Amino acid sequence: MESNPKALSVEEFSKLKDEGCLIIDTRQSQDVRKGFILGSYPIPLGTFFTKWTEGSIKKDTNLLVVAESGLEHESVSNLTTLGYTNVKGYLEGGFEAWVKAGKPVHEHKGISGSDFVKKLGEKPQILDVRSKEEWDQGVLENAQLINFLELPSRGKEVPKDKPVYVHCKLGGRSLLAYGILTSQGYDNVIDVLGGIESVLVAGGKLQPKSS
């Protein structure tokens, strides 16, 4: 990728998306939750950008970037520095340009910790995407355990025939997990806002992890 990444019009971006390019949305989580382009991995610029990107995306993947205004070049530069050489460009005008063009927007489905606690008695399908070390400290009853970085290859293990409530500790990783699963065609995923911490504050209880 050249040092001056290509600014793509909405139509150019849309065409490359339809050809199979993966979208990296580097906006902050609160903005992504207001809506994003289906097929996006939400990985905000910041502390965990390198770990989450390298952990979930192969280096030879064809990539597109959606970024906040003024952070397009930084987003692309971060990717190329990590060794992603197939960055095709970024969406000129950002997500706002996509919306103004009337392109389809995925509306994020989320639930508060307190509302989720009310559903626990119904034994909902829960996907816990935290780390093994976190699981060892306790999990919600009957939760399915898949580390969020493994979802690109293990997403097929998640049921599609019922609502799936996905959570991490605070909400950042669950949003990426949400993006990965919706990219794989899941429309039944619900993001637990604030993660397991919000669930515990609302009265949820952890169980020992079953061996």
What is the full DSSP assignment across 150-202? GHHHHGGGS-SSS-EEEE-SSSHHHHHHHHHHHHTT---EEEETTHHHHHHHT
- The answer to whether the beta carbons of residues 178 and 164 sit under 8 Å apart is no
Burial class for 187, CB neighbours closer than 10 Å (0-12, 13-18, 19+): exposed
Q: Is residue 208 part of a domain?
A: no
Q: Is residue 80 part of a domain?
A: yes
Q: Is residue 207 part of a domain?
A: no
Rounded CA-CA distance 195/113 in Å is 7
Single residue among 100, 121, 150 that ends a domain in this structure: 100
Rounded CA-CA distance 188/44 in Å is 23
Same domain, 120 and 96: no
Burial class for 192, CB neighbours closer than 10 Å (0-12, 13-18, 19+): buried
Same domain, 144 and 179: yes
Same domain, 89 and 128: no
Same domain, 135 and 168: yes
> What pLDDT, on a 0 to 100 scale, did the predictor assign at position 1?
42
54, 94, 105: which is closest to 70 by C-alpha?
94
Same domain, 68 and 124: no
> What pLDDT, on a 0 to 100 scale, did the predictor assign at position 2?
44
How many domains in the chain? 2
146, 141, 168, 142: which is closest to 157 by C-alpha?
146
Residues listed for the chain:
211
Contacts of 155 (CB under 8 A, 6+ apart): 180, 181, 184, 186
pLDDT in tens, the chain (211 residues): 445 789 999 999 999 999 999 999 999 999 999 999 999 999 999 999 999 999 999 999 999 999 999 999 999 999 999 999 999 999 999 999 999 999 999 999 999 999 999 999 999 999 999 999 999 999 999 999 999 999 999 999 999 999 999 999 999 999 999 999 999 999 999 999 999 999 999 999 999 998 6
151: domain CATH number?
A: 3.40.250.10
Strands 40-42 and 125-128: unpaired
Q: Is residue 210 part of a domain?
A: no
Single residue among 79, 100, 121 that ends a domain in this structure: 100
Same domain, 86 and 116: no
Q: Which structural domain, as residue segments, surrounds residue 118?
A: 110-201
Rounded CA-CA distance 128/144 in Å is 6
- The answer to whether the beta carbons of residues 148 and 128 sit under 8 Å apart is no
> What pLDDT, on a 0 to 100 scale, did the predictor assign at position 210?
81
> What pLDDT, on a 0 to 100 scale, did the predictor assign at position 211?
65
Same domain, 15 and 76: yes
Single residue among 77, 100, 123 that ends a domain in this structure: 100
Same domain, 68 and 142: no
Same domain, 24 and 96: yes
- The answer to whether the beta carbons of residues 170 and 150 sit under 8 Å apart is no
